[in-house]
Structure 1
Amino acid sequence: METLDEFDDNAPTSVGDLTKPLQRGGLRSQVSQRLAIAIFARRFQPGEKLTVQPLAEQFGVSRTPVREALMELESLGMVDVLPHKGVRVREFGPQEARDLCQVRKILELEAIRCACGTIPREQLLTLQHDLKQVIAAEPSMISSKETRRIDAQLHGTIAFYCQNRRLKEEIARYSTIYKALSDAYYLELQSTERFVRREENLEHLAIIEALLAEDREASQQALAKHLDTWLADYVAERFGESNSA
């Protein structure tokens, strides 16, 4: 299945598992992802200094991928590189979460508008089949890993087939921060009964069915509802606030 993003099967399974061994290849992106998850999971506090050598030792890599990862996180607004002061973690509160998700919504609504009618039907049917199996499971048996895999494949497929190279590249650039935000959120909720929302799977199904019908307006509406609901849940759970504008 062709997609822009693939689910990271080597991703941490707990907040305390952020230093599990990295896979060979793509060290910069893996370090970026782990650091971003740690920031969102509050392993690093706003204003805390991040130093290259200790991080390299922690991840078992050379200094180069750590430097590159910090530069990437700076470009995404997650850290500040200050002259003579090093790298500092930036504040991330409810407004920053809303701002980030607004950018994601703008990019992905345009992507799904462009991709609607171009995604191979076989790919959509495979996702639909997998999703229905997850939905049919008993609530206590719903796999968060499978839900997240389908989520990554669905959003990645939409971006892959958007037929706009620059839009695809911009979505890919932001994918590190989106994935980290989602991973940190689920890791924090893993011990609660709301770890996997059944509604999230139903929202994914509505998106797929609209794409199968090649209905651009319905596809955009279903995706917008999904992103808005996720943001509202995140802000409420993480910061104890309602997602009011």
Structure 2
Amino acid sequence: MTNAAEISQRITQAVMAQQLQPGGRLGEQQLAMLFDCSRTVVREALMHLSARGIVTVSSRRGWYVIEPSLPEAREAFEARRVIELGLIRCAPKLSAAAVKKLKSHVRREQVAVKGDDVGLRSFLLGEFHVCLAECLGNQLLADTLRDFTARTTLIAMLFQSTHDATKSCQEHGAIVAALEASDLVLAERLMQEHIGNVQSALKLQAPSEDPLAGLRNALRPMVSRAPKRGVKTAAQDLHTSSYPESTESSSIYLGALL
């Protein structure tokens, strides 16, 4: 029987792999059947994820994956900057084992980027930042970064990221190389640029002040272009020969098109 911690981990991994969409519903009964456990265990896992800011609950919709707002998206990236740049700035010299682990992770990214498994690629690119925090010796911040990385993955899906996975992988490799050379100034600058590149690839546009703008534009009257004077089109010939001339407004009533 799966426990609450394992369910939380599986859901977080699915978010980072882009397998769960923003706003996706998480039914207690379905999850209990899937993980062969009670709804009480599932509810415990979802409450834990809610406290971490990955899922939320509504009296009408039940449990569902969060849909970050525009301000929340900006705050998430700012939080990641504070955490990750601070980690590098205060980093001790990396051990040979830590460097080996980071290089191994980047190699797995490179293989995934060339492959067809989009979920694995997305997960590894996000997990790099968690792996880096672990290698820098701070498990508490590694856990925090996992949550923020999950949130930024949802943000990337919600705001249609155009960031290139190959470029992201290359940037990770450059950060590891700088850390291996103990050049913390360069590593911090590269991380700053990397997070900035990921954020700038998002379509973080403020919503229109007119909530009906999209619908208003879609349903605007279709006014046809008037023909030149003295020139009668075939369609006009057909209309005038069969029907009397309309005395109504020249604007087309939407119902006539349906």
- TM-score, normalised by the number of residues in structure 2: 0.57
The aligned residue for residue 121 of structure 1 is: 96
Q: Map 1:223-242 to 2 at 5 A.
A: 223-233=191-201, 235-236=202-203, 241=205
Q: Aligned partners of 1:78 and 1:133: how far apart in 2?
A: 26
Unaligned runs of 5+ in 1: 1-21, 45-49
CA contact (8 A) 2:32 2:42 kept: yes
Q: Is the contact made by 1:111 and 1:162 (CA closer than 8 Å) also made in structure 2? A: yes
Matched, 1:96 2:64: no
Q: 1:222 aligns with which of 177, 190, 193?
A: 190
Deviations 1:15-65 (A, max 9, x none): xxxxxxx89982332245547867643324xxxxx6533442355432233
Q: CA deviation at 1:207?
A: 0.4
Shift of 1:197: 2.5
Where do 5+ consecutive residues of structure 2 fail to align? 207-258
Structure 2: distance between partners of 1:227 and 1:85: 36
Opposite residue 99 of structure 2, the aligned amino acid is L
Equivalent residue in structure 1 for 2:132, among 142, 147, 158: 158
Task: State the AA in 1 paired with 2:146.
Answer: S
Q: Which has the higher contact order (CA 8 A, sep 6+)?
A: 1
What is the 5 A alignment of 1:47-196? 52-57=28-33, 59-80=35-56, 91-117=67-93, 119-125=94-100, 127-128=102-103, 131=106, 145=120, 148-149=123-124, 152=127, 154-164=128-138, 168-179=139-150, 181-182=152-153, 185=156, 196=164
CA distance in 1, matches of 2:14, 2:132: 25
Structure 1 vs Structure 2 CA RMSD:
4.3
Match of 1:42 among 16, 23, 34: 23
Whole-angstrom CA distance in 1 between matches of 2:42 and 2:55 = 13
The match for 2:241 is none
CA gap of 1:187–1:80, structure 2 versus 1, over 3 A, is closer
The 8 Å contact of residues 109 and 223 in structure 1, kept in 2 or not, is answered as: yes
Q: Give the match for residue 169 of structure 2.
A: 201
Determine helix, strand or coil for the equivalent of 1:214.
coil
Greater C-alpha Rg: 2
C-alpha spacing 1:61/1:231, structure 2 compared with 1 (3 Å): farther
Instruction: Return the alpha-carbon distance in structure 2 between the equivalents of residues 204 and 159 of structure 1.
Output: 13
Q: Give the length in aligned residue pairs.
A: 201
